[in-house]
A and B are shown apart, each in its own frame.
Chain A
Amino acid sequence: MLKIKPTNINYNEAVISIRDLYKSFGHNHVLRGINLDVYKGENVVVLGRSGTGKSVLIKIIVGLLKPGKGSVNVLGMEVDKLNGAELRELRLKIGFSFQHSALYDSMTVRENLEFPLVRHRKSLTRSEVNNAIDEVLDAVGLLQTKKQMPSELSGGQRKRIGIARTLILQPQIMLYDEPTAGLDPISSIEINNLINEVQEQYHTSSIIITHDLTCAKATGDRVAMLLDGKFIRQGTFDEVFGTDDERIRIFFDYNFIK
């Protein structure tokens, strides 16, 4: 069931490098000293309870939110120091899959996928665009939904289309916000496999945010545990959970009810 993970990770090249990152909303101090490196070709899973600031963290990486303090370096660029054009340039290399899919309601599934593609790859011919759309739809197993509107899809289907939409531009970095939340176990495993295939095929580096330990175990080369605005533990899945730390044990115990 769980696939053997590929191991061609380049530990000399960090694609994302975060140092002493702080972020507050008013008096709500969400992130308090985050340090994280993501290496080329690596899948890093970020675990943490609801409201600990996981979504905030990846939104800062992609420049949707400004960091309060500290530095966020993505593909060699300081995200908060970029101007509009540079930021757009960087974002083309990052795929961001939203927690609630964020599909464009007014467009069909096909148009959702076509939209970023035709805007950014102007040289593509009609048939190349069609092929690219079919390819990613096939990868998420939803070829038959091409003509449907997002409102006609189930939550899990929307999520997969959301991932397909980010994959279509073949990003170097993928940021998945809870890719398996709300999916049935079989679809979850399919998504996990998809995440691993993407890593293998396109040599992408990813941050995968999740509550789902099966997903963490299946996709993560490394797991980082977020608590009270800091990573309290990082390492392989077994390293992180091979501990007596009550705060981490509780997470594990509730996920795999004995």
Chain B
Amino acid sequence: MDSINRPPEKHVISKGLDAFFLNIYRSANFVFRFFKEVFRPPFEFTEITRQCFEVGYKSLALISMTGFITGLVFTKQSRPSLSDFGATSWLPSLVSIAIIRALAPLVTALICAGKVGSNIAAELGSMKVTEQIDALEVSAINPFKYLVASRVLATTIMLPILMMYSAFVAMMGSFLDVHTNEQTSMTTFFENAFSSITFLDIFTSVAKAIIFGFTIGMVGCYQGYHTTHGTQGVGKAANASVVISMFFIFIEEVLIVQVATWLRTP
């Protein structure tokens, strides 16, 4: 049998490095293909809407809970250091800056990477290994457009919306704590909170959320779409999608914060 007498495989550099560069090449191709296909009709409106709903529905409960607790706990933890200076009245503006600039986008993105990204990778991965993607292809349906483009668009659209929502919920958490401790009214709280937030803050956060959403969708789809080794590969794809998108989210966070700081200082 020639399967036994196969010569050893040759590698350009080494097995690991070859795979690494091949992956970079394929990811670049994947992203490029997304931009090529997403603007070309026919558009999968029904599928995009369905996916948007899925993204929101899957993560809403978790985001509500985490957002609320983040706001509440962050306020509680910040109070002692401010009250040392008798400056607890600064709490609303301090907390709102932290929430809008950093916490809301990051918390939302990490939750979605875990909940939505892994789900996309697992779903596409199992479609891949059971040849459902091939089945789409042979019935003359563009699987990239139908599956990948719609999901990436959905995460990109939904992340900013979820981020705003989680910011709102976190502010409510914070308000609850401030109200019980300092008896601040809601109007005063939100007046204080918004007085220190600039347009650039909100713009940066929305931009961040859009980029995070795109990353989560892309990484999830890429991992799912390139799943190999049967059902075992599906678990690996889901796992890898979470790890890799979190890694990218942190890198992007650092870069965007750098750019925003640079824009802020005249």
Contact = CB atoms under 8 A, between A and B. Distances in A.
Nearest to A99: B131
Contact of A91 (B2, B6, B140): B140
A96 B134 CA distance: 10
A116 B139 contact: yes
A64 B9 contact: no
Secondary structure dominating the interface of B: loop
Interface of B: 2-3, 6-7, 9, 123, 126-127, 130-132, 134-135, 137-142
A258 interface: no
Contacts of A100: 130-131
Contacts of A120: 139-140
Contact of A102 (B130, B141, B142): B130
A102 B139 contact: no
20 contacts: A26-B6, A62-B138, A64-B138, A88-B142, A91-B138, A91-B139, A94-B138, A96-B135, A96-B139, A102-B130, A102-B135, A104-B132, A105-B127, A105-B130, A116-B141, A119-B141, A120-B139, A120-B140, A165-B139, A166-B139
Contact of B7 (A27, A96, A106, A119): A27
B59 to A, nearest CB: 19
Contacts of A169: 139
Contacts of A106: 123
Contacts of B7: 27
Contacts of A166: 139
Contacts of B127: 104-105
Nearest to B146: A119
Contact of B2 (A29, A59, A89): A29
Interface of A: 26-29, 59, 62, 64, 84, 88-89, 91-92, 94, 96, 98, 100, 102-106, 116, 119-120, 165-166, 169
Contacts of B142: 84, 88
A104 B6 contact: no
The list of the 4 closest CB pairs from A to B, nearest first, reads: A102-B135, A102-B131, A88-B140, A96-B138
Contacts of B135: 96, 98, 102-104
Given A26-B9, A27-B6, A64 B130 contact: no
A64 B141 contact: no
Nearest to B3: A28
A28 B138 contact: no
B6 A28 contact: yes
Contacts of B3: 28
A204 to B, nearest CB: 15
A103 B139 CA distance: 12
B132 A64 contact: no
Given A28-B6, A166-B139, 7 more contacts: A59-B134, A62-B138, A102-B130, A102-B131, A104-B135, A106-B123, A116-B141
Which residue of B2, B123, B127, B130 has the most chain A CB atoms within 10 A of its CB atom? B130
A234 B141 CA distance: 35
A92 B137 CA distance: 10
A117 B3 CA distance: 42
Contacts of A89: 140
A245 to B, nearest CB: 20
B6 A105 contact: no
Contacts of B138: 62, 64, 91, 94, 96
A97 to B, nearest CB: 10
A18 B2 CA distance: 25
A124 B236 CA distance: 42
Nearest to A58: B138
